[in-house]
Structure formats: structure tokens, C-alpha cells
Amino acid sequence: MNRIIWTCWFQGREAAPPLVKKCLASWERKNPTWAFRCLDATSIERYVPLGNYVDLDRQALTAASLSDIVRVLLLHEFGGVWVDATVFCNRPLDEWLPSVNRDGFFAFASPAPDRPLSSWFLSSASDSYLISSWARRTIDYWSDRPASDDYFWFHNLFRDVCESDPQAAEEWSRVPKVSAHGPHALQAAGRMFRPAEEVFDLIDWATPVFKLTHRLPEDGWKAGSLLDYLLTRDDERLVGRELKPDGAHITPGRTVPKSFASLSVSTENLGDHIQIIAGLRLLARLGVEPARFIDRDDEIRLAPGLDEEDDPVGIVLNGWFKTNGSEWPPHPRLAPLIIGFHMRPQQCPELLSDASMDFFRRYQPIGCRDVYTENLLRSKGVEAFTSNCLSLTLPRRIARPTTQTEVFVVSRDERIRDHLPGSLGPYTFVNQYSGSHDFAANISLAEDLLETYRSRAKLIVTTLLHCALPAMAMGIPAVVFYPLNDGTAHASDLERFSSLDGLLPVHHLEEVTGVDWDPDPVDLSRLKLRIIDAFCEMAGRWKLAQPPPVGPIAASSALPVP
């Protein structure tokens, strides 16, 4: 399970009430070896693309309901621990959590006779069947619903999952049942506000967490109260941690863009378009929408119309570079973020020119799609790290076993079909080369293809790097073969696949007898989070304005009081 603690305060940590700030600090103080992330209304969509699942302009979602959706999707995508902002950490996670989270899921049990668990503390592996099933029920519940008529809708969905799904019921039965009453003990009978010496012995101080409330009397908590004792007994020094992409130093950009562009390509390879889509989706998470497209191979240096701009133009340079050496290095008015970058000096020697190295050093570190590119740049004195491909950041799909039932075989070369065993069963063959050079049409085809894989595939067998990577990101089991090439073409394949083969086996087609044709999805949760963090940190040189907060968020009165 990922060692990350998630929480959220929509108004932002600095604007949180004093009790919430104390609770948040307790998690950092007691768990210095865990990453701690307090999201707010402007940062949620960096990790959870809510627009894929709910329409806040049309649906009345309160802060409580929205945070329920956020927590289940965060754990489904990344795993880790979710804590409400009013949960106080009384004991380090490492002292008690491993013993109760043996099978990849834990929640405190039975807060009331009609609720199987509390949702204010959840611990889950990203591949937990329970969290996947709960996420599916959550998305289905809000798929066509203007508002909820049930205060405990989220808890009741979990109960429904366990009552209707034997596997979920069996997995929940294996979770050690630790009562939620211990964590609620401070709130019971108003003990929080009574003098500590009167009620101290009523509390089990071995309880790992305490669930509090930010709804306090107008004068707050009184000195000497049990709440005061809890919140002030420990040293308040915080453990500050700043995430870096593999320790790389981000050189500040010399220019701050006022507008943005995106790459375009004139290729028929939809894998190129999938990489562009991944970059566009990451920019959208930061509130950026490019206003123009610049061809990767034939316009990146001339950049028609850019000389008329008074301000620099931001652009993400990711993917395969490149043909047409006369169009490299890029136009000096472009302010690039270079990540998921793969270079082919065999096709474009200008990539290794002195002017190119000056360009790379100006915008280092360079996030490389593969180990081959990182080593090549480092050999030239350029600071670089392996970021992997941006297509690995595509959201993990919601599992739907009744509709995700098809096998897809995806390759440019139909000769792969001669090597597949009959036991694979019926499959759909897809050629991910469109036969067209129309960029807009190919982007649309690539979007449709991703949706087809997401909604229908149970297994993808492919020789294409940019079928394998997005499939893995979406949580689709994949079997990958090297293309049927030899000589220099196969050497190129080895370079391009030099990071993929560290994530799952890459086979040669003559090795089909040793292939596992029923693989599990690859757990990319740590890597995906690292890529998103690297992208967002590198985008910091652009000095972007904060994206608009998610909303509108409905008033708490929109959710019926139980």
C-alpha cells in the first residue's frame, strides 16, 4: 500500500479553523515517513478529474458528499490512507495499521447498527476489490441524480456492495473489526469540553485516532478541557516535505507565458495523438487550455505567427522527437515544459547539436520517456530524469466486469495473428494507424479508441508502446510483444521500450508458449502519482494562476439530516 495520507479542507489549510489545523498537524508530526497531502477546492482535480463523473452545475452535491466521491476515487487511483480533516492522529500509523490492513483494506466498523463502517478513516491498496466495487457503486449512484435524499448514502452503498456481491462480503469479513466507538469516545456525552481530570480515565488512550468535530462553542475549547489536553499535549513542530521529481532541481524558466500552445502531428500513428491527449488532460487539471497547435515535426522552430506575439507561449514537449532537423531547436518565444520526451538522433541529428544542448540546459531537468533518452542527455551534461510517458497518467477506469469482456489485439502488423494461440479465444483486431494525416480527425479517433479500450476491454495484446501504456494506466490487463522487427529496427524498439520492460514483461513473438495470458493489471499508482507531481512541479516555472475551485458546492442543507 502506498504510504500517503490524503485529506481535504475545501477552503484551504490556511483558512481552516484552529481545531482542523491541529488535526492536520497531528498526522504530519506522528507520521514523518508518510507523504501527507491536504487538498482543497483548487487542487482536487489535479488528482481526481471530477468532471468525468459528476456535473456540479447540474447536481446538488454538498461538501460532505463531494468529499465522499473524492476519497473513494483517490483510493481507487492511488491507494493510501484517507482521513477527514477532523480526525486526530493519536498513534503513528506504523504502530497499528499493518496488523489490521493485512488484505489491503481497513475501516473502523459499526458506528451504528445500520452502518457497517465509518468513512472518516479509510485505508486501502489501489487494487482493493472493496474500494473498486465501492467506487463503481458511487459513480453509478450519481450518474443521473440531481441530489441525494439520504444523509448516509455513501455508507449505505458500501453495505449494498457487501450484501449483493459475495466476493466483497467475503473480503469485508476478513477485515479485523475495530469498533468506531473508541475513536468517537471524546465526543460521547460532551466529554471533549469537560475538565480533563474528570473524564480522563473514561478514554482508552491506546485508541489510534480520535474523531472530533470542528463545530465548537463560540468561545472554542477551554483551557484544561479534555479537548485542550488532546490538542496541546504534543510538540507542534511540523515535518515539512517538498516533493521533487527524483530529486531533480527545477531551473526557473526565463519567461512566463501568457498563452499556451499544444503539439500537433501529421502522422497516422494514433499513439502520437494519445500522448498529446494525455498532455492536454494534464494541462486541463491545471486550468490551462491551449489556444493554438504547432506541428511537432514541421513547425516547432518556425512556429508561424509566433513572432507577432509580445509574450512567450507555453507548450508541453512530450512524445517522440523527431524528423525534419531544420525545425529544431524550438522557436525562442516558446516556453516549454519537457517531460515524457523521447529523442531519435538517428532520424534528427540536430537533436544532439550544440544549439540543442543549450536549449535543453535552459529548461533542464528534462523528463525523459525512457531510460535510453535519459542516459543520452546525461552523457551530454544535461540534467535529466526518467519521467515515463504522460499517457501513464490517464485515469484508472471503473471496473465493470459485465461489459469489459472483450480481448483486443492491437498492432500495425497483422502477422501477430499467426503467433497467437487458439486458447486466447475470439478477439477484435485493431490497427492503431488510421491511414489519414488529418490531425483533428485522428485526435477524435484516438479519443474514441481510448473510450473503447476503457469500456470494453478485458485484455489487450499489443506490439505498440502507446497501446500498452494507456491500457496499463487505465487498469486493463496487457500482454506486450516486441514488434516483428530485426536489425536496427529492433534496436530502436529496445530503446523505445526501455522503461516499459521495467513495468511488465515484454515478450518476443517466438516466446508465446511462456506467456501468461491471464495477467493481473499492473499497479501503477506510485508511478502515476510521481508523474503527475513532476508535471505539476515543472509547470511551476510558468507561474500559473490557481485553477478555479471545483463547484458550485451545495449548502449542507441540501443533504437531509438523518
Q: Is residue 149 domain-shared with residue 37, that is, in the same domain?
A: yes
Mean pLDDT of 153-160: 97
Structure confidence by residue, pLDDT tens digits, 302-341? 998 887 767 899 999 999 999 999 999 999 999 999 999 9
Coil vs helix vs strand at 500:
helix
Asked if residue 473 lies in contact with residue 340, where contact means CB atoms within 8 angstroms, the answer is no
Confirm whether 547 is domain-assigned: no
CB–CB of 315/294 below 8 Å? yes
Tell me which H or E stretch contains 230: helix 226-232
State the Cα torsion 552-555-556-559 to the nearest 10°. -80
Alpha-carbon gap, residue 305 to 294, rounded angstroms:
10
Whether 254 maps to a domain, the answer reads no
- The answer on 263 and 230 residing in a single domain is no
User: Do the strands 87-89 and 209-211 form a parallel or antiparallel pair, or are they unpaired?
Assistant: antiparallel
pLDDT at 244 > cutoff 60:
no
Q: Return the CATH number at 43.
A: 3.90.550
Residue 419 forms part of a structural domain = yes
* Residue 558: inside a domain: no
Whole-number Cα distances in Å, 504 to 33, 142, 335: 28, 35, 35
Does pLDDT of 177 surpass 80? yes
Type and span of the H or E element at 361: helix 354-362
pLDDT (0 to 100) of residue 487: 86
Cα 51 from Cα 505, distance rounded (Å): 34
Asked whether residue 199 is domain-assigned, the answer is yes
Return the pLDDT at 255: 59
Eight-state DSSP code of residue 79: -
Q: Is the pLDDT of residue 247 over 60?
A: no
Q: For cell 504547432, name the residue.
A: 294
Residue 235 shares a structural domain with residue 275: no
Last residue of a domain, one of 214, 241, 268: 241
Reported confidence tier of residue 129, pLDDT bands at 50, 70, 90: very high
What is the mean predicted confidence (pLDDT) over 400-419?
95
Same domain assignment for residues 507 and 534: no
Task: Give 220 or 192, the one with higher predicted confidence.
Answer: 192
Q: What are the E-state strand segments in 397-470?
A: 406-410, 428-430, 457-462
User: Residue 264: its pLDDT value, please?
Assistant: 98
Instruction: State yes or no: pLDDT of 41 exceeds 50.
Output: yes
**Whether pLDDT at 243 is above 80:** no
User: In terms of Cα–Cα distance, which of 258, 307, 240 is closest to 25?
Assistant: 240
Q: Are residues 154 and 44 in the same domain?
A: yes
Count of helices and strands (H, E) across the chain: 16, 18
Task: Work out the end-to-end distance of the chain between its first and last CA atoms, rounded to an integer number of angstroms.
Answer: 34
* Cβ atoms of 300 and 330 closer than 8 Å: yes
Strands (E), 157-287: 209-211, 259-264
Q: Are both 329 and 404 inside the same structural domain? A: no
Strands 313-321 and 259-264, sheet pairing: parallel
- Rounded mean pLDDT of 10-17? 95
What distance in Å separates the CA atoms of residue 447 and residue 280, rounded to the nearest whole number? 12
E-only strand ranges, 418-477: 428-430, 457-462
Mean pLDDT of 97-108: 96
Helices (H), 258-315: 270-285
Whether residues 282 and 195 fall in one domain = no
| Residues 278 and 316 reside in one and the same domain | yes
| Residue 552 domain-assigned (yes or no) | no
Bridge partners (DSSP) of residue 410 are 430, 462
- More confidently predicted of 121 and 309: 121
Both 295 and 362 in one domain: the answer is yes
Per-residue pLDDT, averaged over 17-37, amounts to 96
Distance CA 192, CA 542 (A): 47
The confidence score (pLDDT) of residue 246 equals 40
On whether residue 26 sits in a domain, the answer given is yes
Count other Cβ atoms within 10 Å, centred on residue 163. Answer: 11
The 10s digit of each residue's pLDDT in 42-86 is: 999 999 999 999 999 999 999 999 999 999 999 999 999 999 999
The set of cell numbers assigned to 444 is: 477524435
Average pLDDT value for residue range 369-397 = 97
Q: Could you tell me if 178 and 115 lie in one domain?
A: yes
| Mean pLDDT over each residue of the chain, to the nearest integer | 92
Q: What is the pLDDT of residue 189?
A: 75
What string of H, E and C letters represents the secondary structure of 518-530?
CCCCCCCHHHHHH
Same domain for 325 and 231, yes or no, is no
Strand 105-112 to 115-124 pairing: antiparallel
Q: What is the pTM of this model?
A: 0.93
- Our count of domains for the chain comes to 3
Residue 489, pLDDT > 90, answer no
Helix, strand, coil percentages (3-state) for the chain, rounded to 5, are: 40, 20, 40
In a domain, 251, yes or no: no
* pLDDT tens profile 464-473: 999 999 999 9
Residue 229 belongs to domain spanning: 4-241
pLDDT tens digits along 220-241: 688 899 999 999 887 544 333 3
Q: How many CB atoms within 10 Å of residue 266?
A: 15
Smallest Cα–Cα separation from 200: which of 179, 230, 231, 178? 230
pLDDT at 435 over 50: yes
Q: What pLDDT was estimated at residue 305?
A: 85
- Take residue 226 and report the three cell numbers written for it: 479534555
Say if residue 14 is in the same domain as residue 113.
yes
